[in-house]
Homo-oligomer: A and B are copies of this chain.
Amino acid sequence: MLSKAKIKFIKSLQVKKYRKQEQCFVVQGAKSVQELLASDFEVSLVLGTADFFAHTSQQIHAETIEVTAKELTDLSEFQTNDSALAVARLKLNHPLTIRPNTFALVLDDIRDPGNLGTIIRTADWFGIHTIIASDETADFYNPKVISATMGSFVRVEIYYTNLEDYLGKTTLPVFGAYLDGKDVHHTSFGSSGLIVIGNESRGISDSLEKFITDKITIPRYGQAESLNAAIATAVICDNIVRHKA
């Protein structure tokens, strides 16, 4: 039985202020909850249908409540979910170390939660585990972000910081997409580096341009003025892995 207090608690976690206060976030959908249960996140609560629990092989070290599909649907404000929901603890926002011979993404004010989620899913596809994000970037634990990652949030870590300070200290090459950069089809990315992805509307901040060591360009064959931020991320990552291979 799902108490009114639990319903109120879960709904409150849609708001960043309450996620911070409670140090918890919500994961929805059978696949994402199963990925969560198999990860090192600390899970405190799992709601699921009888069918979900019958088909979930992961050990659950948390309070579990069997609910109806209707109860879950009522809890879902923006995505269809009639199977499972979990509450887990936020991970500490520690400075991340970038593994040797890998690339990391640097997100310069990616505001749209769907874009951030898609970027995390794309990073996971291309084997990128680390994201450094400006403080103005959408919150990793926003339920729309978690949903758009399609489970990849368990394999990609994010660190929010001031990008000028961060980029001022790095010794890695810093790639950034500009209209007048070097064609990514003919760029040697080397074995490690940072890829700066600019804001949806204005691209890379003027204040960060001085930290870009390698300006790159995705060649354009048509007339669109720009590419969506997540799309640009994917094309750059595909060119990096190709050149590494």
Contacts and interface: CB of A to CB of B under 8 A. Distances in A.
Interface of A: 114, 118, 121-129, 148, 150-152, 155, 185, 218-228, 230-231, 234-235, 238-239, 241-242, 245
Given A185-B242, A238-B238, A242-B185, A124 B223 contact: yes
A125 B230 contact: no
Nearest to A121: B224
Nearest to A244: B221
Given A124-B222, A221-B127, A234 B227 contact: yes
A224 B118 contact: no
Contact of A235 (B124, B148, B225, B238): B238
A126 B228 contact: no
Contacts of A185: 242, 245
Nearest to A120: B224
A88 to B, nearest CB: 19
A245 B220 CA distance: 12
